[in-house]
Amino acid sequence: MPSAKPDPFILGGKLIHSRLILGSGKYPLPRIQEVVTAGEPDIVTLALRRVNPFGEANVLDFLPKGKTLLPNTSGARTAKEALTLARLARELGCGDFIKIEVITDAQNLLPDNEETLEAIKLLVADGFVALPYMTPDLVMARKMEKAGAAAVMPLGAPIGSNKGLTTRELIRLIITGVAVPVIVDAGLGRPSQACEAMEMGAAAVMVNTAVATAEDPPAMAKAFALAVKAGRAAYLAGLGPIAEPSSSSPLTGFLNTPSSED
């Protein structure tokens, strides 16, 4: 049996040990530990605005050690506000990885791509590893890449919707159109959808609501971890072509008929 080819996932210059990224926002805090233990993510996201240094119910106290923290800038409505939150994260010892969330649509929580692009420029200039949450748009993804984003994180569906990979065609274009890793974030509701994103060539997926709203969140985290592994393996194995309809008399048969001039 041939040994598996190495398949490192490098993000912002760091080797990441799992292609499943989990959120920490929708659980009672004591639950986070169980979910992280079961899902074995390397990266766990957290909302900076939830961090309550030295205070009650501080999310930082509940995150298992040894994980890469990915603070997000939720609450920011402008690039400058995202930078303020990123610096706060750094001060609190959360490291330099920042998931940029700039949201000016409070009802659907859709990212503001334009402000996000500006935020990337500010954060990169300040030495952060910028990971922008974005509405899938290849042209914008390219601009973000050029601005120094370490990855792009297009949404699969509106956040919290559990609707799955509803933007799959747009994400497919981004995966083939940029060189940085593409992390599908938001909207994935089932392991099969995470698996599909990975089969398409996404570098990783990020899940929160689907696990948090499951009847058994740790078991669901485990299910997502398995699906992500399966999807990645399928991507690496190279999916076979899907059978196409064939015509009984070849359409190009006429091309083989010699003409009198030949």
Catalytic residue positions, numbered: 99
**120, 131, 122: which is closest to 69 by C-alpha?**
131
Query: Considering only residues 38, 63, 98, 103, which one is a binding residue for other proteins as defined by CB under 8 A?
Result: 103
Determine phi and psi for 164, rounding to 5 degrees: 95, -160
Rank residues 182 and 220 by Cβ distance to other proteins and give the closer one: 220
Instruction: Please give the C-alpha separations between residue 261 and each of 46, 252, 253, 254, 258, in angstroms, as whole numbers.
Output: 73, 19, 18, 15, 8
140, 111 contact by CB (below 8 A)? no
Site map 210..239 versus other proteins, x via CB under 8 A: --xx--------------------------
Q: Which of 106, 239, 243, 255 binds other proteins (CB under 8 A)?
A: 106
Residue 138 touches other proteins, criterion: CB under 8 A: no
Least distance to other proteins, CB of residue 49, Å: 4
Ramachandran region, residue 187 (left: φ > 0; alpha: ψ -120 to 50; beta: rest) = left
Site string for other proteins, 194-213 (x = CB under 8 A): ---------------x--xx
49 binds other proteins (CB under 8 A): yes
| Residue in the structure block whose two tokens are 């799992």 | 18
Closest CA to 26 of 213, 162, 157, 180: 213
Among 14, 40, 50, 142, binds other proteins (CB under 8 A): 50
The residue (of 77 and 229) whose beta carbon lies closer to other proteins is: 77
Q: Interface with other proteins includes 75 (CB under 8 A)?
A: yes
Find the helix or strand (DSSP H, E) in which 176 lies: helix 168-177
Alpha-carbon distance values, 138 to 72, 142, 168, 176 (Å): 22, 6, 12, 9
Dihedrals phi, psi of 154, to nearest 5 degrees: -75, 150
Number of residues binding to other proteins, judged by CB under 8 A: 34
* Contact residue for other proteins among 7, 61, 105, 216 (CB under 8 A): 105
Q: Does 161 bind other proteins (CB under 8 A)?
A: yes
Shortest separation between residue 11's beta carbon and other proteins, angstroms? 25
232 closest CA partner among 186, 200, 184, 192: 200
Q: Among 7-15, 103-111, 145-153, 233-241, which window interacts with other proteins (CB under 8 A)?
A: 103-111
Q: Collapse the DSSP code of 82 into the 3-class scheme (helix H, G, I; strand E, B; otherwise coil) and give the result.
A: helix
Query: Measured between alpha carbons, how far is 105 from 111 in angstroms, rounded to an integer?
Result: 7
- Name the residue nearer to other proteins (CB basis): 54 or 254: 54
* Cβ-based nearer residue to other proteins, 53 or 250: 53
- Give, in degrees to the nearest 5, the angle at Cα 203 between 201 and 209: 105
CB of 215 vs other proteins, minimal distance in Å: 12
Query: What residue ranges bind other proteins (CB under 8 A)?
Result: 25-29, 47-52, 55-57, 75-77, 81, 84-85, 88, 103-109, 160-162, 209, 212-213
